[in-house]
């Protein structure tokens, strides 16, 4: 079963180049995912009653074109797989010409909110008949590892506005920190083309986090960075890889 929603890009969703921010697109993905779950009677209220929640483990986004203010987007999402403790969600973004301009995939764990442990997906808590096996995008997870050598480091304080209904930092904020760190390195007027995140440990209100950035690949048109986000105890919360297109 697929779910589709139209979005109009508002001014507050754009950056200083008048393009849709990646984090705004991720907010659209988050919104349509919850609307889809609600449409199949598995929304936030149902999850709360069942003492369950979904927590994203991996995220991969690929952008072909960057839409701008007042553009219309048509986003479609569906669940392609539910196995063991994990569910896979697909996203496809089209413009008014019906061109696919972005694709994404997220892999999430079903969590028991009492035990705070992964919960096995079965016929009692998930209707497998809604699954659509079509893949929006091929994805081979990167073999991420921590690193000590880096080119740039910056810190952020976790604000109240960073916290979501699960009581910890929303997954989109990690991408925001990573992109801000790249900007602080001097990368301006760029376009983000690919983003991959591996979430490892939740971050909570009041913590101070550190983002370390290193360049791992560069060509005449693109630069790829790795990012590592950790807390005050040096526990890694996320590892990120982002490919950007240089300003022309």
Domain residues for the domain of 200 are 152-245
Within-domain flag for 146: no
Within-domain flag for 102: yes
Q: What is the pTM of this model?
A: 0.94
Residue 235's pLDDT is 96
Within-domain flag for 195: yes
Within-domain flag for 135: no
DSSP secondary structure letters along 135-161: -SS----------S--SEEEEEEPPGG
Q: Token pair for residue 205?
A: 């209100």
pLDDT tens, position by position, 76-119: 999 999 999 999 999 999 999 999 999 999 999 999 999 999 99
SS3 126: coil
Residue 87 CB neighbour total at 10 angstroms: 20
Q: Token pair for residue 232?
A: 């005050």
In this structure, the answer to whether residues 187 and 228 fall within a common structural domain is: yes
pLDDT tens, position by position, 29-76: 999 999 999 999 888 898 899 899 999 999 999 999 999 999 999 999
pLDDT tens, position by position, 127-145: 888 999 999 999 999 999 9
Within-domain flag for 138: no
| Final residue belonging to a domain, choices 97, 130, 163 | 130
Domains in the chain, number: 2
Place of tokens 């376009």: 191
**Neighbour-count burial for 163-197, b at 16+ CB within 10 Å, e otherwise:** beeeebbbbbbbbbbbbebbeeeebeebbbbebbb
Instruction: State the CATH number of the domain containing residue 114.
Output: 3.10.129.10
Quote the CA–CA distance of 9 and 95 in Å, as a whole number: 11
């Amino acid at each position: 079963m697929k779910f589709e929603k139209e979005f109009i890009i508002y001014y507050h969703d754009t950056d200083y180049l008048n393009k849709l921010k990646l984090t705004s697109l991720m907010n659209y993905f988050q919104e349509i995912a919850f609307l889809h779950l609600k449409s199949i009677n598995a929304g936030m209220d149902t999850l709360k009653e069942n003492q369950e929640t979904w927590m994203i483990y991996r995220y991969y986004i690929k952008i072909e074109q960057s839409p701008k203010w007042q553009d219309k987007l048509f986003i479609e999402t569906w669940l392609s797989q539910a196995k063991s403790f994990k569910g896979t969600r697909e996203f496809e973004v089209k413009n008014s010409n019906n061109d696919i301009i972005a694709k994404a995939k997220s892999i999430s764990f079903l969590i028991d909110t009492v035990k705070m442990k992964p919960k096995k997906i079965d016929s009692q808590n998930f209707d497998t008949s809604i699954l659509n096996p079509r893949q929006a995008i091929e994805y081979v997870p990167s073999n991420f590892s921590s690193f000590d050598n880096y080119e740039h480091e910056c810190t952020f304080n976790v604000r109240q506005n960073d916290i979501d209904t699960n009581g910890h930092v929303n997954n989109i904020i990690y991408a925001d920190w990573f992109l801000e760190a790249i900007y602080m390195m001097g990368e301006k007027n760029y376009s983000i083309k690919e983003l991959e995140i591996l979430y490892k440990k939740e971050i909570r209100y009041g913590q101070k986090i550190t983002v370390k950035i290193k360049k791992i690949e560069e060509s005449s048109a693109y630069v790829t960075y790795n990012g590592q986000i950790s807390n005050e105890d040096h526990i890694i919360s996320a590892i990120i890889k982002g490919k950007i297109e240089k300003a022309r």
